[in-house]
């Protein structure tokens, strides 16, 4: 459903060429929870941006649900992003001028849904992330963990096939990181495919697949602990 073959990405500035990705292969299956690790500057964000159609790639083929992405124009990519992909960002990227309700509403408005349908989805997803009672609050009135939950609600409200997260817990303390991670696992179990970049090995190990990017090249790692183990671990930590 998401296949990258031979993808390369070259950033060309006035004097330097940066090969952010080279010879990149990846096949993502429905229901995967893939964690992406690697050193700083290795190309993780570049990979995620290409997978999320935020950036163009230099060469190679990228198929998303049988759509050849290189054939889409800007408008087509925007529509595909809107319909198939949900984003979670390290710094949440909520719109500071809008309350939680309106923030979740933003991508739904681009879909042109009826206000009744939008309302249903907004309320449902905000309740799902435990913020049903704060809908009129502004992002600045929430903690980081709560803001990230709103971002997750916003990403899920469009019912995307993929959830792409670039260090979603990078700005959160351990406790909040864990609860966000637990939420992502829950979402994955309900069928959404997740690709998550993280620096945290513990979190990375809770995914169903682990890939590592080094110098723009990808390699698949064995999953250290299977999902059952990570579940137990999470529960133990929660009790402790």
Partner 1 sequence: MQELGLIFRALLRNKVGALLISLQIALTLTIMVNAIFMMQQRSEQMLRPSGLDEANIFYLSNTVFAQDYNQQVYLEDDLALLRQTDGVVDAIQINAIPMSGGGWSMGLQTEAGEDKDSTGVAVYMVDDHAINAMGLELLAGENFSQTDIEWRASSQNNWPAKTIISKAMAESLFPDDWQSALGKTAYINQAEPMQITGIVKALQAPWNGWSGVERSMLVPYKMETTGGRFMIRTEAGRRDELMPIIEKALSESNKGRIIRRVTTMDDTRERSYRGHNAVNKILTSVIAVLTLITGFGIVGLAMFSINRRTKQIGTRRALGATKGQIMSFFMIENLMISSFGVLLGVAGAIGLNIWLVSTFSMAPITPGLILTGVIVLFVVGQIAVLYPAMKAAKISPAIATRTA
Ligand X SMILES: Nc1ncnc2c1ncn2[C@@H]1O[C@H](COP(=O)(O)OP(=O)(O)OP(=O)(O)O)[C@@H](O)[C@H]1O
Binding footprint of ligand X on the chain (CB under 6 A): 11, 13, 18, 20, 38, 40-46
Q: Does 37 bind Mg ion (CB under 5 A)?
A: no
Query: Using CA atoms, how far apart are residues 122 and 131, in angstroms rounded to an integer?
Result: 11
| Minimum distance from residue 214 beta carbon to ligand X (Å) | 10
| Minimum distance from residue 70 beta carbon to partner 1 (Å) | 17
Q: Which does 20 bind (CB under 5 to 8 A by kind): ligand X, partner 1, Mg ion, none?
A: ligand X
List alpha helices for the chain, DSSP H: 44-51, 74-84, 100-111, 115-128, 144-156, 174-189, 201-205, 227-239
Query: Using CA atoms, how far apart are residues 48 and 30, in angstroms rounded to an integer?
Result: 17
Comparison of 3 and 18: residue with beta carbon closer to ligand X: 18
Please identify, among the stretches 30-38, 45-53, 198-206, 227-235, the one whose residues bind partner 1 according to the rule CB under 8 A: 45-53
Return the DSSP state at 206: T
Closest of 99, 118, 100 to residue 108, by C-alpha: 118
Q: Which does 89 bind (CB under 5 to 8 A by kind): ligand X, Mg ion, partner 1, none?
A: partner 1
Query: Using CA atoms, how far apart are residues 149 and 151, in angstroms rounded to an integer?
Result: 5
Q: Which does 95 bind (CB under 5 to 8 A by kind): Mg ion, partner 1, ligand X, none?
A: partner 1
Query: Using CA atoms, how far apart are residues 69 and 61, in angstroms rounded to an integer?
Result: 8
Exactly one of 35, 37, 42, 45 binds Mg ion (CB under 5 A); that residue is 45
| Minimum distance from residue 83 beta carbon to partner 1 (Å) | 7
Please identify, among the stretches 4-12, 18-26, 38-46, 124-132, the one whose residues bind Mg ion according to the rule CB under 5 A: 38-46
| Minimum distance from residue 199 beta carbon to ligand X (Å) | 7
Distance of CA 59 to the CA centre of its chain: 23
> Using alpha carbons only, what angle is made at residue 221 by residues 205 and 60, rounded to the nearest 5 degrees?
120
């Amino acid at each position: 459903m998401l296949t990258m073959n031979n993808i390369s990405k070259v950033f060309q500035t006035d004097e330097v060429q940066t090969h952010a990705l080279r010879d990149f292969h990846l096949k993502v299956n429905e229901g995967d929870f893939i964690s992406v690790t690697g050193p700083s500057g290795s190309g993780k964000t570049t990979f995620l941006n290409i997978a999320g159609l935020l950036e163009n790639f230099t060469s190679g083929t990228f198929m998303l649900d049988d759509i050849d992405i290189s054939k889409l124009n800007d408008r087509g990519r925007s529509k595909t992003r809107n319909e198939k992909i949900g984003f979670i960002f390290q710094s949440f990227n909520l719109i500071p001028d809008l309350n939680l309700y309106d923030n979740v509403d933003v991508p739904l408005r681009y879909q042109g849904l009826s206000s009744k349908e939008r309302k249903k989805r907004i309320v449902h997803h905000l309740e799902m992330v435990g913020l049903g009672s704060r809908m009129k609050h502004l992002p600045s009135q929430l903690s980081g963990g709560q803001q990230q939950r709103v971002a997750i609600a916003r990403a899920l409200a469009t019912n995307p096939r993929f959830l792409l997260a670039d260090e979603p817990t990078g700005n959160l303390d351990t406790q909040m990181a864990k609860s966000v991670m637990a939420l992502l696992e829950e979402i994955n179990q309900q069928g959404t495919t997740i690709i998550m970049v993280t620096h945290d090995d513990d979190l990375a190990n809770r995914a169903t697949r682990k890939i590592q990017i080094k110098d723009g090249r990808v390699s698949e790692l064995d999953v250290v602990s299977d999902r059952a183990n990570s579940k137990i671990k999470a529960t133990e930590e929660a009790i402790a």
